[in-house]
Amino acid sequence: MLNKLQLIFIGLLLSFTVQAADINQGLLTVEIEGVSLSTPIDAIPGILESHGYNQVSSTTYTRRSPADGQRMSIHRIEITDTTDLRQISYIREKSGGRIKSPPKIEEPILDSELGTAQTIYRIVCDEVSVQDQDERLCQPATASNIIFNQGNVLKISSSLEASLNASAASTIIRLKYSEK
């Protein structure tokens, strides 16, 4: 029969395994402009086209939208799909016009990005232990700034990586799944 210490250890191990599986499943289904890591590759062009994107190469899609001060926001999605790697990168930055001053800190994240950024942040930072939050450098999320790991790539599990840095000025979201 198992003693109490062995049962506690097994319980902790199972809870960690369940938590890792939940994080993996959550990140695999997060949609960035309608596309997730689990979206079939042949469906991606049609989905992105319906969101106003143009395919500029076999792996890159772009969309332009008006921004403040005669500037444009350029939204770029890059998809990598190989037999052992799947990655979605979303980058929004401003171009054109003359930059006279930095964006106001209080400016909110674009509505089209806010839900995705909040979902990824919730999975990576809110639904984990305080120790994991500290290790992942989870900064408090606000309506104008959502970031973890200082915007750098964060290894979530042996097969998943993520990066998130969302603000009014620019946004970078990356989700990467690799089978090893």
pLDDT at 14 over 50: no
Strand 60-66 versus strand 72-81 pairing type:
antiparallel
Q: Cα separation of 74 and 64, whole Å?
A: 5
Other Cβ atoms closer than 10 A to 110:
17
The answer to whether the CB of 171 falls within 8 A of the CB of 165 is yes
Q: What is the pLDDT of residues 98-125, one digit of tens each?
A: 655 565 557 899 999 999 999 999 999 9
Tell me the sheet residues that pair with 60: 78
Across 73-89, average pLDDT: 94
**DSSP code for 35:** B
Q: Number of helices (H) and strands (E) in the chain: give both, helices first.
A: 4, 8
pLDDT value of residue 67: 80
Residue bearing the bigger pLDDT, 177 or 3: 177
pLDDT of residue 103: 57
When the pLDDT of each residue in the chain is averaged and rounded to a whole number, the result is: 84
With 50 as the cut, is the pLDDT of residue 16 above it? no
Please state the φ and ψ torsions of residue 28, each to the nearest 5 degrees: -65, -25
Confidence of residue 31 (pLDDT cuts 50, 70, 90): very high
Cα torsion through 107, 109, 111, 117, rounded to 10: -160
Q: At residue 80, does pLDDT exceed 60?
A: yes
